[in-house]
Amino acid sequence: MGNNTMDNIERKLRATLYRAFCPDSTELGEYHLGLLSTDRRRELRAHLAECPHCTNELEALRSFMDSVSADLAPNPQKGQESETLLKRLVARLLPSSFPGTGWSPALAGVRGEVGSMLSFNAEGYHLVIDIQQDADRPDRRSIMGLLTGAEPTSAPLIARLYQASSLAAQSQVDELGNFAIHRVAPGEYSLRLSNIEIEIDIEQLIIA
């Protein structure tokens, strides 16, 4: 037992625990591609909230896939692929979300306090956002979203949170329209739900 000096313990803990709970890189990739079961996806989402390494790897994967996406073969239906147009919708806050009178979203941006429930409309889509205190990090927030309406799109939607036009966090929207972005620091953001066919934007979202 004489071998268990403080340094030794530290070394053994690190050697045994370092990234031991990280999904393997293929599974992380399948998460990105929306190929995992709902349960496993939920587990990975929880892991990502606590693992800066996997979060960075996921972000690097996304930018790599973006950089090589032009090499992908077109869809089999002839003609359709070259004419696919991105449909861009700007989500508008519904009046029922305003917490009281005198609220001016145009001036103040859409402000989400802890516990607030915000409803947005974008053509046929309806988006509800619920701001909660983050379960693991009391100083941060979780954004829980639900997108309903319109017909389903062919590819999964990704919800991305941007701060000053750089990506702050992202999460996949599941088949039922649910998504969750955890550990969001208070601040001013924009939120975008998109895939290759459609883009739904909340241009200014202030997380209080």
Partner 1 sequence: MPLDGDPRMLELEELRSLCAAETERFFRHQDSDARYCYEVFRRAIVAHDQSAWECIYTQYQALVLSWIHRHGLSTVLSEEPGYLANRAFERLWVGVSSNKFANFPDLKSILRYLQMCVNAVLVDAARSRTRASLVEDEALERSASHSSEQRSMEDSVLRKTQAEQLWSLLEERCKDYKERCILVGMFVNALKARQLYAEYPGLFQDIQEVYRVKENLLARLQRDQELAAYLERL
Q: By the criterion CB under 8 A, which residues form the site for partner 1?
A: 1, 3-6, 8-21, 24-26, 28-30, 32-33, 35, 50-53, 57, 60-61, 64-65, 67-68, 71-76, 78-79, 82, 137-139, 185
Binder of Zn ion out of 36, 44, 49, 54 (CB under 5 A): 54
For Zn ion, the closer CB: 51 or 168:
51
For β-strands 158-163 and 187-194, DSSP reports them as: antiparallel
Q: Which two tokens stand for residue 30?
A: 């399948």
Site map 164..183 versus Zn ion, x via CB under 5 A = --------------------
**C-beta of 30 vs 130, nearer to partner 1:** 30
**51 lies in the site for Zn ion, by CB under 5 A:** yes
Backbone φ, ψ for residue 62 (5° rounding): -60, -45
Q: Say which residues have a Cβ less than 8 Å from residue 174's Cβ, sequence separation at least 6.
A: 38, 41, 156
In angstroms, what is the minimal distance from the CB of 49 to Zn ion?
10
Half-sphere exposure of 55 (CA within 13 A, CB side): 16
Question: Residue 172 CA to chain centroid, in angstroms?
Answer: 6
Q: Is 22 in the site for Zn ion (CB under 5 A)?
A: yes
Count of residues that bind Zn ion according to CB under 5 A: 3
Percentages of the chain per state (helix, strand, coil), in multiples of 5: 30, 35, 35
Q: With binding defined as CB under 5 A, does residue 150 bind Zn ion?
A: no
Distance separating alpha carbons of residues 171 and 45, to the nearest angstrom: 8
Least distance in angstroms from the C-beta of 73 to partner 1? 4
Question: Least distance in Å: CB of 15 to partner 1?
Answer: 4
- The helix or strand, by DSSP H or E, that contains position 166, with its residue range, turns out to be strand 166-172
The overall longest dimension of the chain from CA atoms, in Å, is: 73
Which CB atom, from 22 or from 158, has the smaller least distance to Zn ion? 22
- Could you tell me the smallest distance in angstroms from the CB atom of residue 1 to partner 1? 5
Residue 192: both structure tokens together: 């975008």
CA distance linking residue 95 with residue 93, whole number of Å: 6
Of 61 and 144, the one with the shorter C-beta distance to partner 1 is 61
State the nearest-atom distance from the C-beta of 99 to Zn ion, in Å. Answer: 37
Look at the chain and count its residues: 208
Of 49 and 180, CB closest to Zn ion: 49
Residues at the contact surface with Zn ion, assessed by CB under 5 A? 22, 51, 54
